Amino acid sequence: MAPLQGRLRYLALPALLFLVGHRPLAFLLGQGLLVAQPLLLWALDSRERAVWEQWARMLSEPRDRAQLEQALERMARHRTTRQSAP
């Protein structure tokens, strides 16, 4: 496992709690990212634009948000089961 993945695993539960707690605002945030995108085109390179678009789509679509929540749940569950193992 890469060192970064190990560190990110510790953030899975807080990220999941934040995402679920702000679920009603996720759609608005996703739409806001889409609206702000043309304003930031001059400041972002193509790779950053792709990440921006991916987050905007993920937050705007309920199915994509659910997949993100499930992935975070798996990461958090995997971390907690590894910690409780002797």
Cα–chain center distance at 22? 12
SS3 1: coil
pLDDT the model gives residue 1: 46
pLDDT the model gives residue 3: 55
Dist CA 69 CA 47 (whole Å): 24
Mean pLDDT by 10 residues, the chain (86 residues): 60 84 85 83 82 84 88 81 57
pTM higher than 0.75? no
pLDDT the model gives residue 84: 55
Spans of all domains in the chain: 3-84
